[in-house]
Amino acid sequence: MLGLAEPSAGCSAKKRLLGMGHLQLAQWLHDALGEPLRTASMRARQLYHWLYVRGVGTISEMTSLPKELRLALENRAEIGRPSIVSEQISRDGTRKWLLRYLDGQEVETVYIPEEDRGALCVSTQAGCSLSCKFCHTGTMRLARNLTAGEILGQILVARDALGDWPSARVDRALTNIVIMGMGEPLLNYENVADAFRIVVDGDALGISRRRITLSTSGIVPKIERWGSDLRTGLAISLHAVRDELRNELVPINRKWPISELLQACRRYPVNRPITFEYVMLRGVNDADADARELVRLLRGLPAKVNLIPFNPWPGAPFDCSDPARIRSFASIIEAAGYPSPVRTPRGRDIMAACGQLRTAASRLRRSTNRASQFAAAKAGEAREPSDGGAFGGL
Ligand code: SAH
Ligand code: SF4
């Protein structure tokens, strides 16, 4: 969609199985391995089960497949899990993995344990093209979209580490998924949708749609489509209540302003409250008047407002609002009947909290001069979005 190259297959000519649904697997078993049509579907189902229910790490463990088929698979295919470059564990139990895909591209994935559940925060792109001013990932270039298999690979690696196989266990540590890692998921729509069809499939990873939340900065035309295709929970990165400020903080707002974004939310075909994420930036978007305007904007919409204390990163041009300011903001929203929890920052000590993810590759596109850019923008200087042209092809 953005004219990005798919990951190069140059480093391995083998077929990558992760990401394929059972129909694709059946077709490939027939076309590439000569599996007769009458058995291809059954073999594909077995393979699908080994990949996504049992979570095996090697083809040789797929013992219900005939030996000749296993050998043929070993020659022609690989599962395609990413390798773990490093793991960091926060004082609060949050775990962050730096993963490397077969072409060398790296992304981060974060597991956040809570008392009664555990959420995995998955990435959908290596980098991001959207340059939100408060986001560390936004200081990276977009290297490329992740494939469906690469998105699934993050979940598989987490399940390996958490001892969470097979999929049907009742005591799984990984119970929820938030699509809130690196990248804008709705700008990689097909791959994210293909991956999550396998995530929600009871014959595959088996995680309920109600336990999945997709977060978007506001790719309006894709919001409704996601609602009818996947029907997961939805979170909107709002962060400002007036277009003037949102144009600066979340530059995609220039293309789809707040009114259009909220209309798309009202049409979202899932009967659950929508979460509005609002990062608390001291002196920028945290006045009581902003809270009152937020209440006005949300009128009639089943919603919850997640207030996110700004998570700092080196060179960031913002500070987090004071706790008293956040409490005052929250109380105005709650008085209007909307739950307004303040998100407890998790994994800050290992740079795993919201907006702190960033891999070493393609360091420092803009972060060093963010502060001066923002100051200039506030002073009303006309300028193009710092990512000029990044929205092309949407
Ligand atoms: N691209 C998607 C999903 C990834 S960002 C989106 O923008 O929604 C996940 C959430 O973290 C978003 O709400 C984002 O606005 C927020 N975020 C980004 N940087 C942050 C920071 N430094 N502190 C707190 N939240 C941040
Ligand atoms: Fe991209 Fe989301 Fe970060 Fe904005 S907040 S730069 S859309 S990852």
* Structure confidence at residue 12 (pLDDT): 54
My answer on whether 280 and 182 are in the same domain is yes
Could you tell me if residue 273 is inside a domain? yes
DSSP helix/strand/coil, 278 = strand
My answer on whether 73 and 185 are in the same domain is no
My answer on whether 66 and 111 are in the same domain is no
Helices (H), the chain: 22-33, 37-49, 67-76, 148-162, 189-200, 220-229, 243-249, 258-267, 288-298, 323-335, 370-378
My answer on whether 149 and 37 are in the same domain is no
Q: What domain count does the chain have?
A: 2
My answer on whether 54 and 141 are in the same domain is no
Hey, which of 123, 135, 320 would you mutate to test ligand 1's pocket, going by the most ligand atoms within 8 Å of its Cβ? 135
Question: Which residue type occupies 161?
Answer: A
For residue 354, indicate whether it is catalytic.
yes
Q: Among 22, 55, 78, identify where a domain stops.
A: 78
What are 164-182's pLDDT values in tens digits? 999 988 899 999 999 999 9
Could you tell me if residue 140 is inside a domain? yes
Q: CB of 64 within 8 A of CB of 46?
A: yes
d(CA 384, CA 381): 10
Residue that is written with structure tokens 């990951």 in the block: 7
Q: Both ends of the chain: CA-CA distance in Å?
A: 7
Q: Which of 108, 150, 184, 248 is flagged as catalytic?
A: 108
Q: What angle do CA 137, 129, 310 make, to 5 degrees?
A: 35
My answer on whether 91 and 72 are in the same domain is no
Could you tell me if residue 384 is inside a domain? no
My answer on whether 327 and 312 are in the same domain is yes
Could you tell me if residue 8 is inside a domain? no
For residue 277, indicate whether it is catalytic.
no
- Write the CATH number for 329: 3.20.20.70
Could you tell me if residue 376 is inside a domain? no
Beta bridge partners, 305, equal 276
Q: Among 63, 78, 93, identify where a domain stops.
A: 78
My answer on whether 209 and 320 are in the same domain is yes
d(CA 310, CA 318): 8
Could you tell me if residue 377 is inside a domain? no
CA of 110 to the centre of ligand 1 (A): 14
- Write the CATH number for 40: 1.10.150.530
Nearest CA to ligand 1 atom 4: 180
CA of 239 to the centre of ligand 1 (A): 9
My answer on whether 46 and 146 are in the same domain is no
My answer on whether 63 and 125 are in the same domain is no
C-beta of 237 in contact with ligand 2 (< 6 A): yes
Hey, which of 136, 215, 284, 307 would you mutate to test ligand 1's pocket, going by the most ligand atoms within 8 Å of its Cβ? 215
Could you tell me if residue 366 is inside a domain? no
Could you tell me if residue 288 is inside a domain? yes
My answer on whether 194 and 69 are in the same domain is no
Q: Which ligand is nearest to the CA of 305?
A: 1
Nearest CA to ligand 2 atom 4: 132
Q: Report phi then psi at 311, rounded to 5.
A: -95, 120
Hey, which of 280, 351, 354, 387 would you mutate to test ligand 1's pocket, going by the most ligand atoms within 8 Å of its Cβ? 354
Q: pLDDT under 50 in the chain at which residues? A: 1-5, 9-11, 361-394
* Structure confidence at residue 371 (pLDDT): 35
Domain residue limits at 201: 83-361
My answer on whether 74 and 87 are in the same domain is no
CA of 227 to the centre of ligand 1 (A): 20
Q: Which of 132, 135, 320, 354 is flagged as catalytic?
A: 354
Q: Among 78, 94, 116, identify where a domain stops.
A: 78
Point out the ligand 1 atom lying closest to the alpha carbon of residue 237.
13
